[in-house]
Structure 1
Amino acid sequence: MDGKPEGTTPPGTKTPFLEKGITPCGAHGENLALETLGVKNVARRIMCVLDHQTICTLMRVCKSLGNRFKEYKFYIGAARFLKGREKHTAKIKCSRCWLTKRYCACASLDQISKKIHLDFEVILFIHYREVARKMASNTARLLPICVGARVYIYGDIHSEDNMLEDIRKMMRRGGALVLFPSDDSLTSQQFLNKYSKKGGDGKNQATKNGIGLIIIDGTWNNARRMNTFIPGCVPRVKLSTPSRAKFRNMRKHSEKGRVSTMSAFIHLLEELGVREELTCPLGDALNLIIEKYYSQSHKPVCEVVNSRKKFAKRAKDRTKAEGGEQKSSEMEPERDKKRSRVT
């Protein structure tokens, strides 16, 4: 470190950790300067050691760090958001299926999960906002219930580090792939060619080799940022023919090629050649959640794929047409009365 002995603080460096006798490295007791530590290391130690009030103080002091403060703010803000929403959702929603406690589907999902035994590992990399909100229309929460997927949260430093370590182990064992439609993504058939045997088409071979699947869950903008967090050495795979006709949808999408997370996972398994007796129970679980969702929200089934503006415009035109027909039917008896008076 430029000839300076390790553990010394350069002159002029602001060290807000001096309050309460806390060093930057927490329990390790290393008196390193804040400037010499990585952003994630500092944020990790902040969240481990300090309480909420001290974190707020540090956020004000750390603004002197310039652009790097945005990264500190992201991780600390994510922790506060998760903690704040947890109190609200715990009162009314099931912590597993994310439906209201009245419409909880955990018992039925546990029965379905007994029929599913996959030969490979599944990682669910989910955005912290999806976890905090626990939206009933989110289908990704079926993965840990049905296939035992390991859940890692984007925005939680410990969870991110554990996921990266898990991915390294996957790559050493049999490899891994990320389901994400980026520009450099391979189709499932192109990916299977790497695992194909001589004289075979390679289907189901990739999953037998113990390859791991990484599923990203979040809004489109969030998912793109999450994709850049995963190492580039892990190949990206996209669906060849994503279809929305197989399963009903709980959310409106502006593009026809976009499907729900669970639906995309089922399509990927089918393209990788996983047996139908394993993918069918997954479809049953998804249909069950969809039925529960519409029973809970009292909404009609959303089958048409349109943007919000087009959908609103069509609904407005429909109401206008119905109103015009009603007015014309009301005017007809009045016209008949006038004619009878004239005659």
Structure 2
Amino acid sequence: GLPEHEERLKELLREDVAGTAILFPSPDALPAAAMAAVVAGEAPRRIVILDGGWAQCKKMNQWLDPAIPRCFVETATREEFGSTRKYRGQAHRVQTASAFAALWRELQEDPHDVEAVTQGLDAFMSSFEAQMGPAGRLDVLEQRSRHERERKNE
């Protein structure tokens, strides 16, 4: 990122350390459902969601203020939300959007809002899976190649 953006983020986080949480499953992280009791007696007012590969997220987490509590979700599953990642055999690894939807649910946010986020994620995953097909990315590449050949033959 840009240095001025990084500094601005640090400033924002310093303004409300007690009301902020970081969604990251570090060894000292608390279950999100328990976070409300720890963060000023209510759900966090600001939540930092780290998104990227595991190595990138670990680096981002190390860069952020260690005084800000970390939390993790317990209810996000691949069965409920699907997966766009390569770790298909590892049920505990879920995409960031799935973790975010589960976080809202575990923090007992408005059920209508949680449902809207979940429905949006379901729509995205349905579209993603339709594009990928049962064979995955190779299937999409083969379809594109076939389409390009057909256009050349027209």
TM range (shorter): 0.7 to 0.9
Cα distance, 1:195 vs. partner?
5.5
Contiguous gaps of at least 5 residues in structure 1: 1-154, 198-204, 303-343
Contiguous gaps of at least 5 residues in structure 2: 137-154
Q: Aligned match of 1:169 in 9, 12, 15? A: 15
Aligned to 2:101: 266
Deviation string 1:192-241 (CA, Å, 9 cap, x unpaired) is: 223687xxxxxxx325xxx1000000111111011001001100001134
**Distance across 2 between alignment mates of 1:228 and 1:195:** 20
Aligned to 1:193: 37
Structure 1 residues 157 and 288, CA gap change in structure 2 (3 angstroms): same
Amino acid at match of 1:265: F
Q: Aligned match of 1:233 in 67, 73, 89? A: 67
Taking the TM superposition and a 5 Å limit, the aligned residue runs for 1:252-331 are: 252-253=86-87, 255-295=90-130, 297-300=131-134
1 or 2 for the larger relative contact order (CA 8 Å, sep ≥6)?
Answer: 2
**Distance across 2 between alignment mates of 1:163 and 1:179:** 16
Taking the TM superposition and a 5 Å limit, the aligned residue runs for 1:23-172 are: 155-171=1-17
**Distance across 2 between alignment mates of 1:288 and 1:301:** 20
Amino acid at match of 2:43: A
The answer on 1:206 being equivalent to 2:43 is yes
Which has the higher Rg, Structure 1 or Structure 2?
A: 1
Q: Could you tell me the TM-score, scaled by structure 2's length? A: 0.76
**Distance across 1 between alignment mates of 2:38 and 2:65:** 20
Percent identical pairs in the alignment equals 27
Aligned length: 135
Amino acid at match of 1:217: D
Deviation string 1:83-116 (CA, Å, 9 cap, x unpaired) is: xxxxxxxxxxxxxxxxxxxxxxxxxxxxxxxxxx
Cα distance, 1:250 vs. partner?
1.9
Q: Could you tell me the TM-score, scaled by structure 1's length? A: 0.36
Cα distance, 1:169 vs. partner?
2.1
**Distance across 1 between alignment mates of 2:34 and 2:113:** 23
Work out whether residues 242 and 267 of structure 1, in 8 Å CA contact, stay in contact via their aligned partners in 2.
yes
Work out whether residues 250 and 301 of structure 1, in 8 Å CA contact, stay in contact via their aligned partners in 2.
no
Cα distance, 1:156 vs. partner?
2.3
Structure 1 residues 231 and 243, CA gap change in structure 2 (3 angstroms): same
